[in-house]
A and B are shown apart, each in its own frame.
Chain A
Amino acid sequence: MRRLRVLWARVLGQVSQGREDAALDEEIHEHIALLTERYRGQGMSAQDAARAARRQFGNVTLLKERQRGQRGMLLVGELWRDVCFGMRMLAKKPGLHAAMVLTLALGIGANTTVFSIVDAVLLRPLPYAHPEQLMEVRSRQMAGAMPDGAVCYPDFFDWRAQSQSFEELVSYHGESLTLTGVERPQHLDGEVVSWNLLPLAGVKPEQGLGFRPEDEEAGSRVVMISHMLWVSQFGSDPRIVGRRIQLSGEAYRIVGVMPTTFRFPVDAPQNTFWTTLAVDNDGTPKANTANRGNHELAVIGRLKPGVASAQADAEMKAIAGRLAQKYPDTNTENNSAHVLSELTALLGDTRTLLMVILGAVGLVLLIACGNVGNLLLVRSRERTREMAMRSALGANRSRLVRQLLVESLMLSALGGLAGCALAFAATPVVLRLIGDSVPRVADAGVNLPVLAFALAVSLASGFVFGLVPAITSAQGDLLSPLKNGGRGETDGRRGLGSVVIVGQVALGIVLTAGAALLATSYAHLARSDEGFKTDHLLTFMFETPDSRYSSTRPEFYRQYFEKLRALPGVKAAAGSVILPMTDNSVHISFENPEHPLPKGQLESARMDLVSPEYFRAMDIPLLAGRDFSDADTENSPQVMIVSRGFAEKFFHGKNVIGKKLKPGAGNDGPPVWREIVGVVGDVRHGAMSQDLDPVYYLTAGQFSKWCCMYSVVRTGLEPLSLEPDVRRLVASMDGNIPVTDVRTMRDRIGFQLAQPRFAMVLLSAFAGLALVLTLVGLYGVMAYSVAARKREIGVRLALGAPRQMVFRMVLHQAAMLVAVGMGLGIAAALASGSILQAYLYGTGARNPIVLAGVCGLVAATGLMAAYLPARRAMQVDPALALRCE
């Protein structure tokens, strides 16, 4: 009760501070006047009486301050005065403080930008109910070093039936369909899922009821569409549920419209429809849903409450093991499973990459803080007199420390403000750089949590760079600076500056080495031979729906390519189901009579299905034999072409023309023996793969049931200029098949390289920033040290030291700092290099050439930074230097 009363009195006191101040002034004044009068009465002189009265009353300023503190709350008034005073101090040296604010703004801005991405990608929970229960389940080989793989339908059905750990297990894979029967046919991306997607996600459709279990049965065609598609193609029709739409020539019944925020999978925001796995089931024994050899599914599950992921992992491994024993022909290579959290599965290596970048940008901020701290140290030297004076006038130490901290925090607040502005500007640029190469990144933006982070970082850095100078200034002998006019020099303070520089150089080396490694690796990737000519190549695709083309496909494509080649500007044109350098691949095993193996362990290689003239259009050299031709049809002898790497791996480079293999790919019946008729050069299947994988080609003319080929067009013109002609051509042949995914080959490769490129660009930018900041810091410390040692240098020169020696002395000092920092930096770079290992191609994580280059760069620029101060030292006029002390 008593406390409440005091608190209330203080609240009131805060409001009436001004009035109370005046009253107190009056009381004090009156009191001292009365005391003086009394001393006068005792016969003192006016002056003596006044002095005696003051002594008896005590420190008036201190009293007032104490009263004010006692009267009000939180020392708001005092803090405000500190702030006002701080403003005046900042305004006194605008250049210096602008430099500090800029330095901080760069550091904080870079951190805020990176954090906005980390926030969107790593920290935000998945947009489903209880996202922590969601797990990805993958198929895996127990002994092998193969990465986790996709799942086939029969395995998925067995998992779903047998597992006790999961409330729901859902299979999914991407699918593209063409929407017709609307104004303009549209190519749609979507997902084929098991019926229980919505129970798994814990999301309700905004209209309709969604899938039912019977929607998985063969022949069922139901679809849920996105809110966006509902608006754009169906005019927000309120009675959309139950309506039938045409997708790739089949009628689908709409059973739901999903809310705007719904996404599945999370990294496929372009998906506009979801349909059930009934589309993969034609009701025959050959159906995809019955094929244990066709691994194309991803599986996501929701753990039952209380079940740990390790428990689920053990259970799934056991189930996969049992299935492998039951189906040795197909499951030997998938005899295990792996359960991992959905977010981890989604992010993969990206998590580490982002953490590396966040760490790097944190180091940049540390370096920036080092610089500002060093500048403040220099400032505090200039202000020793001021501090001594304030102390002599009655300010206690904590008061001085507080004043200096307030000034530092003001600097960091200004820096933070500018940094946020910088982040607002920089985030879109960085997002463009990242593109689609990081899942969920499109959601990134400077929002409240990000701003809170910026605030926290600003305050933290204010304390980091402010506390040390504050304490050193408020410490120590406060009288001698007053006596000798503030010209004294404290060694400790200079030592601290040197420690900061050494740390900065070390951090700079670590960052620069990391960036240089990524740049080396990127250069390696970009320089590597793709095996074909990537420029002047246009690629696009359209669907040829089974409903109309299942038997006429080869003839359609033959006519289409003929017309395509006749377009003006087209040098060559062909088709391929899988484009190289896109990371897409299909592996299909084959029987080799020269190397017979049991059924479950057949050799396997990448497969592609191409049209005649594909190798000519791509500029892949034909090394032996012949290309496919239009004469290779379903009724002619079955043929294949292999890459040089394939011939070497499976036939040890011996002549392979005329040899026969049986790839496990059939058109409408069982696989058949095929004769190798040609050998072509190797191509890279992905921008990040270092090796040219062996690959074999089949011809589309002999696979009428297989859809759909990308078209590749070699031209002498700017490739995209052909797009209108191409669209017109396809529309003239079939008005219901829209051309989609029109991009140049270069563009596709650029997309592949987006992740290594943005990692390299960001890290290089940060390393460059770190280096510049370090050099500015080194320059500052050296310039300050020369200024502080002017007298000593003057004495040396007066005593006959050659100017060259003074020059060398300063350079030597700088070189020592850089060398120590470099030593530490090299050690740290070697120790931390392995973090980057997973992102490096064509270079190790401890590349001595890269490290040597980085050290050379730092050494050279470091000496450059020391050059000016050294010259200044050399030009000191001994007479002047001695006189002005």
Chain B
Amino acid sequence: MGDRKSEVLQGTLDLMVLKTLYALGPLHGFGIARRIEQVSDGVLDLNEGTVYTALLRLQQQGWITSKWGTSENNRRARFYSITRQGTKQLERETENWGRVAGVMERVLKLERQT
């Protein structure tokens, strides 16, 4: 593993979790962590516990709900799924993120003017 891992930006974890649930349907915390790990290709330094903080936050906003069920290997687990409001929020956030990313890109491309 490389030693140049990036910290997860404040607030981006919520977006990642939301998108993961949107794309993959109901998942438990472990599943979400795996998916993020997979996608990030080992670049992100993530304490997996923080996923649960994000889940609680999202739940309190009403963007996701949770239900106890049985996992693929027959263990009791809590499954989280995105709500309609959550989907709307995801759209808004994605758009927002795109804007911010665009701005960041342009700013970082600035050439030195002397």
Q: Mark B57-69, 1 if CB is under 8 A from A, else 0.
A: 1011110000000
Cβ contact within 8 Å between A30 and B30: yes
A27 B29 Cβ-Cβ under 8 A: yes
Q: Check B49–A57 contact: CB distance below 8 A.
A: yes
Q: Which residue of B lies closest to A71 (CB)?
A: B56
Q: Mark B63-99, 1 if CB is under 8 A from A, else 0.
A: 0000000000001111000000000000000000000
Asked whether A24 is an interface residue with its Cβ less than 8 Å from the other chain, the reply is yes
A31 touches B56 (CB 8 A): no
Q: Across the interface, which residues of A come within 8 angstroms of B56, CB to CB?
A: 67, 70-71
Do B60 and A10 touch across chains, with their CB atoms under 8 A apart?
Answer: yes
A239 touches B (CB below 8 Å): no
B66 shortest CB reach to chain A, Å: 9
Q: How large is the interface on B (under 10, 10 to 19, 20 to 34, 35 or more residues)?
A: 20 to 34
* Contact assessment for B76 and A26 in the assembled complex, using a CB-CB cutoff below 8 Å: yes
Chain A: interface residue count, which band? 20 to 34
Contacts of A6 in B (CB 8 A): 60-61
Is B6's CB within 8 Å of the partner chain A? Answer: no
Give the most central of B28, B49, B77: most A CB within 10 Å.
Answer: B49
Q: Which of A175-194 contact B (CB under 8 A)?
A: none
Given A31-B33, A59-B47, A24 and B60 touching (CB < 8 A)?
Answer: no
Q: Across the interface, do B50 and A2 meet the contact criterion of CB distance under 8 Å?
A: no
Q: Which of A707-762 contact B (CB under 8 A)?
A: none
Q: Which residues of B contact A456 (CB under 8 A)?
A: none
* CB pair B52 A63 closer than 8 Å: yes
Instruction: Indicate whether A9 sits within 8 Å of B52 (C-beta atoms), given known contacts A27-B29, A30-B75, A59-B47.
Output: no
In Å, the complex CA distance between A58 and B13 comes to: 16
Is the CB of A66 closer than 8 A to any CB of chain B?
yes
Are A58 and B60 in contact, CB atoms less than 8 angstroms apart? no
Contact across chains for A59 and B49 when beta carbons are under 8 A apart = yes
* Cross-interface CB contact of B50 among A5, A24, A63, cutoff 8 Å: A63
Beta-carbon contact of A23 and B60 below 8 Å: no
Contact A30 B77 (CB under 8 A): yes
Which chain A residues in 24-46 approach chain B with CB under 8 Å? 24, 26-28, 30-31, 34-35
Residue of A5, A58, A71 touching B49 (CB-CB under 8 A):
A58
Q: Which residues of B contact A398 (CB under 8 A)?
A: none
Say yes or no for B53: interface residue by CB 8 A criterion: yes
Interface flag for A60 (CB, 8 Å): yes
Q: Which residues of A contact B50 (CB under 8 A)?
A: 58, 63
Q: How far is the CA of A24 from the CA of B28 in the complex (A)?
A: 12
A164 on interface, CB distance cutoff 8 Å? no
When chains A and B are docked, how far (Å) is the Cα of A28 from the Cα of B29?
Answer: 9
Q: State the CA gap A151–B89 with chains docked (Å).
A: 83
Contact across chains for B78 and A23 when beta carbons are under 8 A apart = yes
CA distance A27 to B52 in the complex (A): 9
Interface residues of B in 18-53 (CB under 8 A from A): 28-30, 33, 47-50, 52-53
A56 adjacent to chain B (CB < 8 Å): yes
Determine if A27 and B60 form an interchain contact, defined as CB atoms under 8 angstroms apart. no
| Residues of B contacting A70 in the complex (Cβ-Cβ under 8 angstroms) | 53, 56-57, 60
- Contact string against B for A residues 136-177, beta-carbon threshold 8 Å, 1 for contact and 0 otherwise: 000000000000000000000000000000000000000000
A13 on the B face (CB < 8 A): yes
Q: How far is the CB of B13 from chain A (nearest CB, A)?
A: 13
- Interface pair A57/B48, CB less than 8 Å apart: yes
A26–B52 alpha-carbon span in the complex (Å): 12
**B105 shortest CB reach to chain A, Å:** 30
- Residues on A with beta carbons closer than 8 Å to the beta carbon of B48: 31, 35, 56-58
* Contact (Cβ within 8 A) A67 B61: no
What B residues does A26 contact at CB under 8 A? 76, 78
| Whole-angstrom CA separation of A691 from B15 in the bound complex | 90
B residues neighboring A (CB under 8 Å): 28-30, 33, 47-50, 52-53, 56-57, 59-62, 75-78
Using A58-B47, A71-B60 as known contacts, list a sample of 6 further A-B pairs with CB atoms less than 8 Å apart, ordered by residue number in A: A9-B59, A9-B62, A26-B76, A56-B47, A57-B48, A63-B53
The 5 tightest CB contacts between A and B, nearest first, are: A58-B47, A9-B60, A58-B49, A63-B49, A31-B30
A-B contact pairs, 14 of them (CB 8 A): A5-B60, A6-B61, A13-B60, A24-B52, A27-B52, A27-B78, A30-B76, A31-B30, A56-B47, A57-B47, A58-B49, A59-B47, A63-B53, A67-B56
Which residues in A have some Cβ–Cβ distance to B below 8 Å? Answer: 2, 5-6, 9-10, 13, 23-24, 26-28, 30-31, 34-35, 56-60, 63, 66-67, 70-71
